[in-house]
Every structure is written in structure tokens, then in C-alpha cells.
Structure 1
């Protein structure tokens, strides 16, 4: 009878995730909350704990980053990134993903990639590099970047799970594993991706379009064609970006040096959760005072909208999974613990698959990481695998940045495919996931 009950509850959990995924966006949160209601009222389970700390971090970060965007800070960061990408066009399959990755780490969002896409296309095509190579890897790299950013929603979810007894695995402990692992993964992946597809000169489809006049030859092409994004670099935007990045740096410093933190009520150094929240509120206030953005623009900004959607999705699904896991803690711990002991990569596969299903790194974190921790997986090893598995959100060609990359690629080399596995992002996703997970496991064992 107990086995049947657990099976039915698991069906409810998986069904809520599937239904939320089909509708996407805030529907993930709605279906998650509905699933909690079913577990509590139908199966009479105790209600789990909603991810309050993670939500508060997300809200504070989204507010600060939205203020930065309203002041023009995102545009300023993108213009700097575009200059870096254009400096070494022949190595763009490596440079573009690394720059996109680092700027996504600093901004805490993958949305910074959108205005960079036409820059990457133009720089690659004009220099004879097949555009699908840097475009595809740049897209996937920004997904992994959120495991390295002190101000991403996924990191907020992770910190609130690991920076507690008995793990005491803080923000800086996570970043010192995920950041080098992701960079190693991107460098190794670029070597593979740089061999994918035919060169422009050897691609009959591209050459036919050039011959017909439909497409300009690489030497005559420019970024001023359809889809090009014109950005303005302003002093106001520069100041907003600098204030935001200084706030990010301050969070890292507080993470590194516990002795400079305020004391908690018990005399121990204050945890990083309230420090992140306070620093982001301070950053947003400084941007308001120094840069004078139009506050009315904040709720309509892309960063604010994406952040609110992430928070709602995390709220519902994380609450659902916590309710289910808490009700069957011992069984899940023993069963999954045996699997993880036999093959630790099973944890990475779990995060990867939830990323595929939900296209949300923060949801995957709150869903699978508690299981891995409860199963006894060492926090360092778990963290290394967690980072690489984030590439999974691009396994299927359904993400907005994938669609945008294909649309910006006027050569047609970046494809969304027709069979779910024949798109330009499939191999970069698999390769970056494997290389980053492998590097993360090494760094996790050594540094964890």
C-alpha cells in the first residue's frame, strides 16, 4: 500500500513538472503549487517548506539588475563585450563563448547574450568562420555561467541549500569549483565545436545563396543588415554597470573573508544569504541616486520580467519537490544514496534532465540538489557536477536564445532542426556538459 501511495505521489510530481513545462513560464509555478495541494489534501502529507531564502535573494538581485538595465548598464556591458569579441575574430569560436560566459557571470543573467548575437554573427561571417560554431557555443556557455555567478537565481537556490549545517559550503566554496570547471569546459568544447559543419567556402548551401545574391560574400558583409542591434554606450549606463559589478565584487569579498562580516546573534559571522540581499538593495539604491534611471521602466524591463518568471517557477516546483522529498526522506535517501555511491554521475544526469524538462537551472537546483545532499554526496563533488549539468537547458531547440541565434544567422548555418536532435546546439550542449562535469568533479574533489 505504501509503495502504491509513493508511486501515485511521484506521478503527481512528474505530472506537474510535465504540465508546467508544456505551458512554460509562470505555469511551472502554478502547476507546482497545484501539486502541493494534491499531496497535502489528497494524500495527507505534511506541507513542505517553500524556498523563502532563495526567493528573497532572487527578488533583491532582480531589482538591482533591473535598475542597472533601466540606467543603460546592460547596453554598456554589451558594447564592451562586443569590442572584446571583435579583437580576435579568427579565434571567435573560443573568444565569443568565453566573453559571453564572463558577462553572463557578472550580470547574473543569460539575457545579456541577445544583443551580442548579431555581433558574433558579423565578426565570424566576415572572417570566414562558420557562424553556427561561435553562436551555438556562446548560447550554451551562458547557461553554465549561472552556476558561477554570485547573483544568479540558480546560485541563490544553491547557496540556501549548502550554506547550512552540516555542510557549511558557502558561496565562495561553490564559485572556486564552478568557475574554473566551466572555463575548462568552454575551452575544450571550442576545440570540438570548431570542427562542426563545413567551412563557409566549402558549404554548397551558403555558396549558392552568395551566388544568387541572396547573401553577401563574407568580405562585403556587415552588421548593419537585418536583425542588427544598435546599442548606446552612455556615462549613465557605465556608472550603473560599475556600481553593480562592484556590488558583485563586494559579495565575493564577504564570501572570502568571514572575519569582515557582521556578527549574527550567536556571535558567529553572518551567513551569506542576508549579505547578498542587503548588498543588492544597496546597489539598486546607489544606481537610483547616482544614475537617475526612470524607475517606471523597471517593471517592464526584460531582466525584471525574466526574474519574476524564474521566481514564480521556483516557488511552485521547489515547494512541490520539498513536500514530496520530506514525506519520503528515508526511502529516497537510501535508494538514491545507493545509486550515487555506485555511480556519482547519476546525480549530474538528474540535474541535466530536469534542466531539459523545465529549462530552468534554479528549478533543477531545488529539485535535485536536496536529493544529492541527502544521499550523502560530498558538497564539492556535487557542486562540480551541478555546474556542467546546466547545459541541459539547451538540449532541445526551444529556448529563446537558441531561436534568436538562428534568426540572427543570415547565412543559415545555425539551424533549429526538425527532429529535436538535429539542431546546431545539440552537440555543443552534450560536449560542454560532459567536459564541465568532468572538470567539475576533479576540482570538486581537490578543492571541495
Structure 2
């Protein structure tokens, strides 16, 4: 009985997190259509969050009906003259009001209105990433110790917050990159000599290995999540063989070739425990394309300390937010192309279930992780909406580009046929993603 209650609670939590994230992203997307359309002189008849029966609504002074509908899996703006929520067709409008309809507006106004949805998704991502950079700060340029992490028994830690690292085992360190490269050539052992600048004095103190087997992150929907691993865990051994550095873990997982591996893990406040995981094969991007590897879904946590943090300025944060958003778009393009060309398997395409589960896990990991995931989803959804598929925003923009070049609109019959094909393609893709969620390992 308790297991069933726990499972139900997990399902409700995942569903609530997914609906909340989707509602935020859809609201921003549709508001982009609405506000730019309004500025371009196009009248919005309905702004709906959700589909289906109306739960409650309010009509503003401009005549737009703002409503919340019963099915919270999307939303839409219906402009004057739209035949449906997807703006795939039009209905007759009085001649004196034609300019206020989407179909009767100038080409530039239609283009700007349709493009605004994905653009607002990108803006949301940029602002979220920028806000997180301002809130969390950025690492200082010099190699300086910030927050310390708990260490397991047997590991020596005499570094202190504020220490500026000058050398490890007598080898100089001038940058974080230097520290990472140096770690590869140092012998793996529990203690090293760290030369630091502390309160104006240069001293040498014992400290841990620069790259310990510390879990920095756990990938959603991975064997690590299923087993219960958490950020901050320290992997002590794999199948009884000691692990001194994080990169040693990869060799053990690869050698297992999909067979279960037993991790001996230390966790603060709980001590040591064993976790059994079954590695899965995944396609990972490399400089040469993609590489298939056995993975368990953990990322390295660097060292037992965080870098010292400095404040981030608004312009610097916005630039960082734009760069991260661009990275998401670029990786989406790369991944989609790799699937189309057969470089990676089709199981890499997830559906609604995998997105919902990932959203629930992000919410469980804390508010910061949930907000970060909303930014990732917003950028990905913005990109998907720009694909040149009729019924998506990119399909409308494709028709507008044709109109700009040909100096005439596509015929209504062509638009209807292509829209039907586009809807079939979108539904097929959704079903395919759902089948991957259910049947892919």
C-alpha cells in the first residue's frame, strides 16, 4: 500500500511540475504572438492557456478574451479572422476590419507576429540564464578556493575558503585549465601538497586529489537516478575495485558492457552503501561527430571545493545567457541532423513522458534546477517551432517567405494540403517519441 501511495505521489509531482513548466513556456510563447501582433495592429480575439472547455475567463478593454481551459497541455492566441487556434485557415472579415486580422495585415506585420513566439522563448531562456549568473555569480579568474564540500574518511582536507592556489606537489598553477591539465599527470592518491597564498603568506598544506570520484550531477532518466545516486556522493569502488579518480569510473562502466555494476558510495551523514546500476548505451557528441558509449548518468563534480565567486554584471550575464541559449539551439540542430542522417539511433528522440519525467526530476532537485530546465525547454521549444513544418510557426514563416519572393500568396488549397500534411507529421512525431519513451531502454 505504501509503495502504491509513493508511486501515486511521484506521478502527481511529475505531472504538476510538467504542467507548471509547460504553462510558463507556452504563456511566454503565446504572449510574444499577442503583444507583437497588437503592436502591429492585429486584433487578438482569444488568448487561451490550455485547450478544451473554458474554466474561467475575462475580457479586457480591447475585446480580447483571456481564458484558462481544462486541458493544460499548451495554449494559443486566436487572431481576428483565424479559422482555428493554429491560424491554419481564415474566415471572412468585414472589409473595414480586414487590416486588424492576421490574414489581412501587411506581410511584415504577419511575419513579425508569427516569429515573435519562438523569439520570446529564446528571450526567456536568455533572461533565465542571465539571472542565474547574476544570482550565483561567476568563478574568479585566479585559482581561488570557494565553498568546501564534505570529504569521506581517509581524505585529507586542509584547504580553506579564500586560499589562492599557487602549486600542487610543487607544480605551478596559474589558471583553472592548468589545474585540470596538471591533475592528469599527478599520481592518484588521497593527499597532495597544495601551495597556497593565505592571508598574504605562502604556505603548503595537505589537500585532496584535484579530480576525486565526486558526483557533481545526475542525468535525468538515467541508471544513476533509478538507483538513487545524488550530487555530492563520492564513489569509493566499482565491483569491489577501488576508484581514486572520477575518470577511472568510465573504464569500469565500459568494461561492464551493459552488465550490472555495483558502486560503493559514501554520502555525507549516511556513510557507505552499495548501489547497483545497469549501464545503458548512449550516443554522445564528439569533435568528430558522435560516439556510442556505455553510461550510467553521472557527471564529475570537479574537486572537493568550488571556485571562489565574483559578481556578474548585467551585460556579461546577458552575453552568457545568449551563448547558452545558442548552444542549446546548436545542439538541437546537430542532434536532429544526426538522427536524420543515421549517425545516432532514433531512440535519442524522447516524447512527452521523458520530458515530463525529466521536469519532475529537475523540480525534485531544487528550485534552481527546475528554473534552469525551464530555460532549456524554452529554447528547445522555440527552435522546434521554427522548423518549416506547416501548422508550426516555421511553416507560416515559410509561406510568408514564398509570398515575399513570388509576390503572391500560396493558393488556399495548397495551404490546406500542406497544413494537413504538417499536422500528420507533427502527430506522427509525437507518437514516435511516445513509443520511444515506452519501449526504448
Name the TM-score, length of structure 1 as normaliser: 0.23
- TM-score, structure 2 as length reference: 0.23
Q: Which has the higher contact order (CA 8 A, sep 6+)?
A: 1
Structure label with greater radius of gyration: 2
Hey, which of these two has a bigger chunk of strand by percent? 2
